[in-house]
Every structure is written in structure tokens, then in C-alpha cells.
């Protein structure tokens, strides 16, 4: 498989042999079943780089993001981010990461303004400053400012997703973890979000780890792409490299060829 050896600058994310198992029982007396969501995943992301994770449903993308955002603890392997280790430096890392997840979860009874300020305060930001920054981001994302005080429950999915991105960016994090940030958005909103992310990393040099099902998005945003299947990283490289590797003209076919059923799981592993 293809890997680009990280050369210049520092590594923002170093994940090696990451494993995660979920144990559950079907019934009260049923035996404990083990399900390995991640079976040893290794990859590295350089500072300022955008890394796209592509993988079918259930391949472990969200699990990986949850481990990196300190919500889950790994059952094997090591994680280093921005020079800190997980889980030891969990508390310090939390201040440096913003996370957006596909479900754009909010307190429905509160307005975007209140939701954002709450998040800002959790990160110890000064409310006045946080508010200014929130307004700025929301306007950049194309949300009308007169809606900032309406309850969130009256807003469309797309608007909510934009607010969710604004929330992650409030703390101006050097590291952004995005779990399907544009899933469920219309083409216009999707492009708004993508343009915003491009602008952001150009301005701030933010490192971004992004999962998506959208090939065009991965090609547009990600410097490098990793294909995740059944808890394993089966291929990695730039879009061009992946297409060449699979011998297909577009990324979608490369994705199917490299992660599909015909793929021998063991042979594809790292």
C-alpha cells in the first residue's frame, strides 16, 4: 500500500496500532460478545494537513474520532497529538481540539447564541469575546444574524450543522476532528462549509481530520486520504495515488475496489 513518508514539519497526529473492542450481551445470560471496531489502525497527520478518512458504514470512523476526542479509551495502540499522549494528557488535549459530529447535537430549547456561549464557557472562554467570534463565524457560514436568538429546534439541519461547526471553532483549536461534517446538507450549504474549512486552514494552519462518505469532498479538502474497512486502514495516499493503486479513473471506484467485498480482509490489512 501507499504511504507518504511525513517529511517536513511536525506531526500533529500520530496513531499507531490503535485497537478498540466493544463488548456486549444480547440477553441477560448470553455470553459476552466481542466486536473489534478498530483492529490496529496506524496513520500520521502533519501539522496543517487535512487528512480524509473514507470508509463504509460501520468501518470504525466514528469510533476512531471518539477515541481521539477522549470520549472512548483505546484497547491497544498509542495516540500522540500535538505532542501530548492519550490518555495521560487528556485534560490538556481537550482544550486544543474542536470536534464536529454528524448529528450536530444541541440543546434544542436554547438559541444558537446560548448554545455557543455555553460551549465557550465550558472551554473557559470569556463570554463577550466568545460571542463576537461566534457571530463572525456564523456570518461567514452564511447564517443570518437575526436568527441567532431563535430556539435551535426551529432551525433546519443545515443551519444546525453550521452552528455546530461554529461551536467547534470558537476555541480556535489547532486541531479539528470532523465526523461527517457535511452529511445531510444541501449542495449549497455543503459548499459553504467546504469553502469555510479551506479558508480556515489557509488562515490559521489548522490540522483537520475529516471523515466523509462524499468522494468529491475528500478530493477537494483532503491532502491525503485513508480508506478504512472493517476496522483496518486498507490503503492510504493522495487521491491520485489511490486511483493509480486501484487502477480506476475515479476515487469512488477506487474506494469500492479497495474496500469492497472482493477485498481479502487479511491481505488488505496493515
Partner 1 sequence: MNEILMIARKELLSVVRERRVLFTTLILPILIMPLLMFGPILLFGSAARQTQESVQKVGVVGVPAAVLEQLRKARVEPVEIAKPQEAVQNREVEAALVFEKDKYTLYGRLSGGATQSALVVEKVQGALRAYKDQLVAERLRARGIGTEVLEPFRLETKDASREQERAAGLFAFLIPYFLVLFIQMGGMPVAVDATAGEKEKGTLEALLAAPVPLIQILLGKGLAVFVMSLLSTLAALTGLLLGGAVFRNLFAAQLRAVQDGENPAQLGGALALDPLGYLSMLLTGVLFALLIIAIMISLGLYARSFKEAQSYMSPLMLVMIIPILFLQFSDFLKLQDWYFTLPFINVVLALDALVKGSATALQLVITWLSTLLFAGMALYLAYRNFQREDVVFRN
Min dist CB 184 to Mg ion, Å, is: 12
Q: How many CB atoms lie within 10 A of CB 148?
A: 18
Question: Of 142, 151, 268, 269, which one interacts with partner 1 (CB under 8 A)?
Answer: 151
**Residues making contact with ligand ATP (CB under 6 A):** 22, 24, 35, 37, 55, 57-63
* Binding status of residue 25 toward partner 1 by CB under 8 A: no
Min dist CB 161 to ligand ATP, Å, is: 15
Min dist CB 138 to Mg ion, Å, is: 25
CA atoms of 251 and 96, how far apart (whole Å): 32
Question: Of 62, 70, 182, 212, which one interacts with Mg ion (CB under 5 A)?
Answer: 62
Residue 124 interface partner, choices partner 1, Mg ion, ligand ATP, none, CB cut-off 5-8 Å depending on type: partner 1
* Binding status of residue 164 toward Mg ion by CB under 5 A: no
Closest by CA position to 222, among listed 51, 24, 32, 5: 51
Min dist CB 133 to Mg ion, Å, is: 28
| HSE, side-chain direction, 13 A CA sphere, residue 36 | 13
Closest by CA position to 136, among listed 170, 95, 96, 181: 170
Closest by CA position to 193, among listed 226, 223, 157, 149: 157
What dihedral do alpha carbons 230, 235, 239, 243 form, nearest 10°?
Answer: -100
Contact 231, 42 (CB under 8 A): no
Residues 45-74 within binding reach of partner 1 (CB under 8 A)? 66, 69-73
Taking the least distance from each CB to partner 1, the nearer of 124 and 187 is: 124
* Binding status of residue 36 toward partner 1 by CB under 8 A: no
One symbol per residue from 112 to 141: x for binding partner 1 (CB under 8 A), - otherwise; what is it?
Answer: --x---xx-xxxx-----------------
One symbol per residue from 238 to 257: x for binding partner 1 (CB under 8 A), - otherwise; what is it?
Answer: --------------------
What 8-state DSSP symbol labels residue 6? P
Residues 75-104 within binding reach of partner 1 (CB under 8 A)? 91, 94-95, 97, 99, 101, 103
Buried-exposed string 201-222: b where 16+ CB fall within 10 A, e elsewhere: beeeebbbbbbbbbbebbbbbb
Amino acid at each position: 500500500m501507499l504511504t507518504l513518508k511525513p517529511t517536513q514539519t511536525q506531526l500533529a497526529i500520530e496513531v499507531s496500532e490503535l485497537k478498540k473492542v466493544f463488548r456486549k450481551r444480547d440477553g441477560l445470560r448470553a455470553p459476552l460478545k466481542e466486536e473489534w471496531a478498530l483492529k490496529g489502525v496506524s496513520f500520521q497527520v502533519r501539522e496543517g494537513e487535512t487528512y480524509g478518512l473514507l470508509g463504509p458504514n460501520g468501518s470504525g470512523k466514528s469510533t476512531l474520532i471518539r477515541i481521539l476526542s477522549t470520549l472512548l479509551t483505546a484497547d491497544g495502540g498509542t495516540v500522540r497529538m500535538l505532542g501530548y499522549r492519550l490518555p495521560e494528557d487528556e485534560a490538556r488535549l481537550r482544550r486544543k481540539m474542536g470536534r464536529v459530529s454528524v448529528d450536530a447535537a444541541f440543546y434544542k430549547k436554547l438559541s444558537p447564541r446560548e448554545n455557543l456561549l455555553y460551549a465557550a464557557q465550558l472551554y473557559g472562554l470569556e463570554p463577550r469575546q466568545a460571542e463576537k467570534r461566534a457571530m463572525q463565524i456564523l456570518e461567514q457560514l452564511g447564517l443570518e444574524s437575526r436568527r441567532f436568538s431563535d430556539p435551535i429546534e426551529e432551525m433546519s439541519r443545515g443551519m444546525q450543522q453550521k452552528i455546530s461547526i461554529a461551536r467547534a471553532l470558537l476555541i480556535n483549536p489547532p486541531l479539528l476532528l470532523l465526523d461527517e461534517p457535511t452529511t445531510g446538507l444541501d449542495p449549497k450549504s455543503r459548499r459553504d462549509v467546504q469553502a469555510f474549512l479551506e479558508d480556515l486552514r489557509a488562515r490559521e494552519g489548522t490540522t483537520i481530520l475529516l471523515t466523509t462518505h462524499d468522494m468529491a469532498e475528500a478530493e477537494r479538502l483532503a491532502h491525503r486520504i485513508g480508506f478504512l474497512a472493517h476496522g483496518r486502514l486498507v490503503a492510504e495516499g493522495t487521491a491520485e495515488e489511490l486511483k493509480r493503486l486501484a487502477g480506476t479513473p475515479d476515487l469512488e471506484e477506487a474506494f469500492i475496489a479497495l474496500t469492497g467485498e472482493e477485498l481479502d480482509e487479511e491481505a488488505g490489512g496493515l
